[in-house]
Chain A
Amino acid sequence: MKIVGRDETDEIQDESDAVSLCSLFAGSESFGIDTRKIREVLGKRELQRVPLAPAMIGGVVPYRGEVLTAVNFRVLLGMEEYAGVSCVLVLDDDEGGERFGLMVDEVGGVVTVSRRMLEANPSTLEARSKWLFDGAYKMQTGLMVQLDPQKLRPSRLMETGLFRPSTNGRDA
């Protein structure tokens, strides 16, 4: 067993209850993705745009001999495009074998949270966000919304049709 501080032991009672999340930011909100699903954080990257691609596809990025499709997270949330250079994370999908990139404003650090802190999506949440979000952790600084990389897969996003209407949002 690890030796941990007293107040932390209160929060995280056993190992299986703990989840380590990588925090990321888009706009003023903060999100978290399970670190086991993240393959690599590429940092700030200029992406190669793909003409005629749906707006949620931010572009393509080379990664270890592959060309990955990167999803623009801000577009998914219906926000304005980020003015600066976005950070790119490489996410792995263990089921479909699809590897893809996720564009966010900033990547923070790794935080360990207890599963018990997770609250389900509020019923008032609009459909798109309900689909994207996987509940939220109550942190001291505020809420951290958990994301499920499975649902962020470009092909899955295309299938849902939830994000289709925004296709011409970018150029309009």
Chain B
Amino acid sequence: MDDLTKEFIAESQEGLDRMERCLTELEARPDDDALVGEIFRAVHTIKGTTGFLGFDRLEKLAHAGEHLLGSLRDGRLTPTSELISGLLRLMDGLRAILTLIEETGSEGTRVGDEDSELIAELAALNGATPVSKVEAESVSLKKVGEDAASATAPAAASAASNGASEKTLRIDVDVLNRMMNLVGELVLTRNQMLQSGMEAANFPELARRLDSVTADLRETVMQARMQPMGNLFGKFPRMVRDLSRTCGREVRIEFSGQETGLDKSLLEAIKDPLTHAVRNAVDHGIEAPTDRVLAGKSAEGCVRLRAFHQSGSVVIEVTDDGAGISIERVLAKAVERNLVTAEQAAAMSEREALQLIFLPGFSTAAAVTTVSGRGVGMDVVRANVEKVGGSVEVESRMGLGTTLRMRVPLTLAIVPALVVRSGGQSFALPQSALVELVYVPRREAETAVERIGASELYRLRERLLPMVWLDKLLGLEGRGVKEVHGFYMVVMEAEGCRYGLVVDDLLAPEEIVVKPLSTALREIGLFSGATVLGNGTLALIMDVAATASRAGVKPVEETGEANAVEEKAQEADVPFLIFEDRARERTALPLGVVERIESVPVRKIEYAGGRPLLQYRGELLPLIDDGHVLSELEAGKPGEDVLATVLICSRAGAGGRDRADRTGIVVRKVLDVAAGAVLGKDEGVGEMELAIVKEKLTLVHRDFGAKAAAGWKEVA
């Protein structure tokens, strides 16, 4: 296929995408002439260019469509629903031929019959016999020149959903220029570095410059890869329109945040999950119009797609104002499908019950329709989103609607990871799958590992966690240094599997650049890529889910008992932060009230009326210093910069975060975090309560304790 044809296909696909958006909008705003004009131009451009390239079949169809659109533009026809359906079919027809050309290089002649039917339908819609073809063609030929020119004008970076355009990307020339500039800067910096050498006085400065140039360049390249979410949203109006017809619903779709950028590869990855979610919202979420009216809502339902950035990731929400998910039905279904037992179901909170819809084999669709209920459910959505390092959550309120929230990272090329060592080699574990780190000292190593048959388990907070020894799994036993210090266990979670990966050592967390491996190494199936570490050595990136399945870890859905037990434990035992303020006394605060632990230079602490105060993030924080730690510190080493440890506590407890209600507590030393039970008030200790934490008597600040307990109840 020559370049001209390729370009033509990519352009036409874009034109059709625009046409699709406009058509669905036209239904909502039938009087908008600009929309009709836009659609007309798209079809006209295709028709004009095909004349050049000699695709007769395509030209004929486009011509028929153009004629109909002409009548629409001149106001001889009004955009009825049938007319729009006809135009959508025209669009599908054009698209089919384009795909055929892309695949085979020719438009095919044998299937020509199909078109004549469609052309006849379009003519019937027009309500008149088509104008003589020759005449129309001569007109169009004259226009071809200008249209071809307008078509090549740079459109906004856009990705059509088809092959040819998937591999190409439109980039803003400004972005490209900026990239080139930065590359130039990079070369200059390199030259200077080579000339001056490591010992030169300005070396640190050069290194800094290199750092900033790289950061800028990285950002710019990422920006170039970014595609607006709008490209993905564009196809939904049509889909929702078709769906709402088949399902007998009245649905309107609304967007916000179309301009939110997302890496092109990620955009492709979330296409299917998002389509599924929208389909679900229309089919299951929105009720039939009659039901809606009975419920006091407008007959027309609304599906809202929202995209926005939030702390380094992109959040995409699909919200419907439908019936919401019935918890009772979810639970009944889960019991019926043997996913949970009846007792477990009864003990579940609303939030937990909602998580059940992500289990494989779960569908609440009363009947299998063509649209949904075919067994491909939310579990696939979750798996797909998790595959790219994202997460999915669902919120639902009976009668008010459901929100499905997907969170995906901005890019896949650079990921935060933890570098570990095992068997004398470095490996990178993606942070997204990392739950926690456990260190097992040597003296506990023997007792910590429990066995059932050949499998080894670790009891982590009364839950058994399968242990996977990375060196054994990779056949690297005995290659590493003999461990003398015990071992580290990295608790990983992927695709519902949770396991402890045992490694020799933990190195630094790093932002790693993912490099693909050759096919020969991909076949091993355990590594998702490799990366060059800061010290110049290579590290393989582990595929967390594949590692789990290789080690035989099966997905455990921790919905039932485990959580229930944990919840009970929470009610009885509150986690405490244990510290020392008065000499030799252990004091504790419920962990929920402690916001931060800060190290503050003693000289920063000011006094007013004998009370110590600290200026902390623009507010004045009163400090509690029961143990007279401050005076001790000041007396200890005069003139030096002594650091005091201050716990920043919020008096409002775990529930609220009222700014004005913060207090600082000056402590000697922070000791531990542990769960404990409050014993009750003891007269001898005044404002305090006694608690048993880690089998030792501990004082608890009563003020905080009581409120925190209330807070906990709210949460539970």
A residues with CB within 8 A of B:
48-54, 57, 60-62, 65-69, 98, 100, 154-155, 157-158, 171
* Cβ distance A171 to chain B, nearest Cβ, rounded Å: 7
- Chain B residues near A65: list those with CB within 8 A: 515
Q: Report the bound CA distance from A62 to B538 in whole Å.
A: 7
Contact of B538 among A51, A60, A100 (CB under 8 A): A60
- Most chain B CB inside 10 Å of its own CB: which residue of A49, A57, A157: A49
Within 8 A of A (CB), among B518-575: 518-521, 523-524, 526-527, 529-532, 537-540
Q: CB of B610 within 8 A of chain A?
A: no
In the complex, what's the smallest C-beta–C-beta distance from B600 to chain A, in angstroms? 44
Interchain Cβ contacts under 8 Å between A and B, 9 examples: A48-B540, A53-B520, A57-B520, A60-B530, A62-B538, A67-B517, A69-B521, A158-B520, A171-B475
- Pick the 8 closest A-B CB pairs, nearest first: A51-B474, A154-B520, A48-B538, A69-B518, A67-B515, A67-B530, A155-B519, A52-B524
Given contacts A60-B530, A158-B523, contact A50 B540 (CB under 8 A): yes
Do residues B520 and A60 form an inter-chain contact, with CB atoms below 8 A? no
Closest to B474 in A: A51
Tally of contact residues, B, Cβ under 8 A:
24
Q: Which residue of B lies closest to A54 (CB)?
A: B520
A155 CB → nearest B CB, Å: 5
Of all chain A residues, which has the CB nearest B517?
A67
Would you give the shortest CB distance from A42 to chain B, in whole angstroms? 14
Q: Choose from B515, B527, B531 the contact partner of A50 (Cβ within 8 Å).
A: B527
Q: Which of chain A's residues have a CB closer than 8 A to the CB of B516?
A: 67
Separation in Å of the B412 CB from the closest CB of chain A? 16
Check if A48 sits within 8 Å of B537, measured CB to CB.
yes
Question: Quick check: A155 and B518 within 8 Å, CB to CB?
Answer: yes
B518 proximity list for chain A (CB < 8 A): 68-69, 98, 100, 154-155
Having A61-B538, A69-B518, one finds 9 other A-B pairs with CB under 8 Å, namely A51-B425, A51-B475, A52-B475, A60-B538, A60-B540, A62-B532, A66-B515, A67-B517, A155-B518
Residues of B with C-beta under 8 A to A154 = 518-521
Chain B residues closer than 8 Å to A62, beta-carbon distance: 515, 532, 538
Closest partner residue, chain B, to A46 (CB atom): B537
Report the Cα distance A65→B218, complex, angstroms: 14
B514: nearest chain-A partner, CB-CB? A67
**Closest residue to B536 on the A side, CB-wise?**
A62
Which residues of chain B from 444 to 493 have any CB-CB distance to chain A below 8 Å in the complex? 474-476
Task: Output the least CB separation between A158 and chain B (Å).
Answer: 5
A158 to B523, CA, bound (A): 10
Is B423 located at the chain interface by the 8 A CB criterion?
yes
Most B CB contacts (10 A, CB to CB) among A48, A65, A68, A157 go to A48
How far in angstroms is the closest Cβ of chain A from B551?
A: 13
The number of A-B residue pairs with CB atoms under 8 Å apart is 66
A152 to chain B, nearest CB (A): 12
- Of chain A, the residue at the smallest CB distance from B540 is A50
In-complex Cβ contact of A69 among B475, B517, B526, B532 (8 A):
B517
How long is the Cα–Cα vector from A48 to B533 in the complex, in angstroms? 12
Tell me how far the C-beta of A51 lies from the nearest C-beta in chain B, rounded to whole angstroms: 4
Cβ 8 A contact of B521, one of A50, A61, A66, A157: A50
Chain A's closest residue to B530 (CB) is A67
Nearest-CB distance from A13 to chain B (Å)? 41
Bound-complex Cα distance A51 to B480 (A): 13
- Distance A158 CA – B519 CA, assembled complex (angstroms): 9
A67 CA to B428 CA, complexed, in Å:
15
B520 touches A67 (CB 8 A): no
Alpha-carbon distance between A24 and B521 when the two chains are bound, in angstroms:
25
In the complex, which of the residues B520, B524, B537, B539 contacts A157, with contact meaning CB atoms closer than 8 Å?
B520
Q: Which residues of chain B have C-beta atoms less than 8 A from A54's C-beta?
A: 520
Report yes or no: B474 in contact with A60, Cβ–Cβ below 8 A: no
Interchain CA distance A50-B425 in the complex, whole Å:
9
Question: Are B425 and A49 closer than 8 Å at their CB atoms?
Answer: yes
Query: When the two chains form their complex, are residues A53 and B538 in contact, meaning their CB atoms are under 8 A apart?
Result: no
In the complex, how many angstroms separate the beta carbon of A91 from the nearest chain B beta carbon? Answer: 13
Which chain B positions have C-beta within 8 A of A69?
A: 517-518, 520-521
Q: Report B90-137 residues with CB < 8 Å from chain A CB.
A: none
A61 nearest CB neighbor, chain B only:
B538
Report whether A60 and B532 are in contact in the complex, using a CB–CB cutoff of 8 Å: no
Inter-chain CA distance A52–B551, complex, in Å, is 14
A52 touches B526 (CB 8 A): yes
Q: A50-B527, A66-B515, A67-B538 are in contact. Are A57 and B521 (CB under 8 A)?
A: yes
Collect the chain B residues with CB atoms within 8 Å of residue A67's CB: 515-517, 529-532, 538
A148 to B57, CA, bound (A): 49
Residues of A within 8 Å of B520, CB to CB, are 53-54, 57, 69, 154-155, 157-158
Residue pair A60, B423 in contact (C-beta under 8 Å) = no
Interface pair A53/B524, CB less than 8 Å apart: yes
Q: Please, how many angstroms separate the alpha-carbon atoms of A60 and B537 in the complex?
A: 10
Q: Which residues of B contact A157 (CB under 8 A)?
A: 520
Q: Which residue of B lies closest to A70 (CB)?
A: B518
Which residue on chain A has the smallest CB distance to residue B537? Answer: A48
Q: Which residues of A contact B538 (CB under 8 A)?
A: 48, 60-62, 67
CA distance A122 to B413 in the complex (A): 49
- Cα distance, A155 to B476, chains bound together (Å): 24
Please give me the residue from chain A that is nearest to B532 by CB atom: A62
Query: Taking CB as reference atom, which chain B residue is nearest A57?
Result: B520
Tell me which residues across on chain A come within 8 A of B529, comparing CB atoms. Answer: 67
Identify the closest chain A residue to B422 (Cβ). A51
- CA separation between A65 and B476, bound complex, in Å? 27
Partner of B474 from the list A52, A66, A98, A155 (CB cut-off 8 Å) is A52
In the assembled complex, the Cα of A18 lies from the Cα of B521 at a distance in Å of 37
CA distance A52 to B517 in the complex (A): 14
Shortest Cβ distance from B210 into chain A, in angstroms? 16
CA gap between A98 and B517 in the complex, in Å: 11
Using CB atoms, name the residue of chain A closest to B531. Answer: A67
A66, B140: Cα distance in complex, Å:
51
CB distance from B426 to the nearest CB of A (A): 8
CB of B630 to closest CB in A, whole Å: 53
Cα of A157 to Cα of B523 in the assembled complex, Å: 13
Q: Interface digits, B425-455 against A, CB 8 Å rule (1 contact, 0 not)? A: 1000000000000000000000000000000
State the CA gap A48–B425 with chains docked (Å). 8
CB-CB nearest in chain A for B526: A52
Nearest CB in chain B: distance from A154 CB, A: 4
**Which A residues touch B539, using CB under 8 A?**
48
Chain A's closest residue to B424 (CB) is: A49
With most chain A CB atoms within 10 A of its CB, the pick from B475, B518, B527 is: B518
The CA of A66 and the CA of B532, in the complex, are separated in Å by: 10
B residues less than 8 Å from A158 (CB atoms): 519-520, 523
- Closest A residue to B513 by CB, please name it: A65
A60-B517 contact in complex given A51-B425, A52-B524, A158-B523, C-beta closer than 8 Å:
yes
**Minimum distance in angstroms from A57 CB to a CB of chain B:** 6
Smallest beta-carbon distance A56→chain B, Å: 9
Please indicate the chain A residues that have their CB under 8 angstroms from the CB of B527 in the complex. 50
Report the separation of the CA atoms of residues A20 and B686 in the bound assembly, to the nearest whole angstrom. 94
Q: How far is the CA of A11 from the CA of B515 in the complex (A)?
A: 47
Please name all residues of chain A whose beta carbon is closer than 8 Å to the beta carbon of B540 when the two chains form the complex. Answer: 48, 50-51, 60
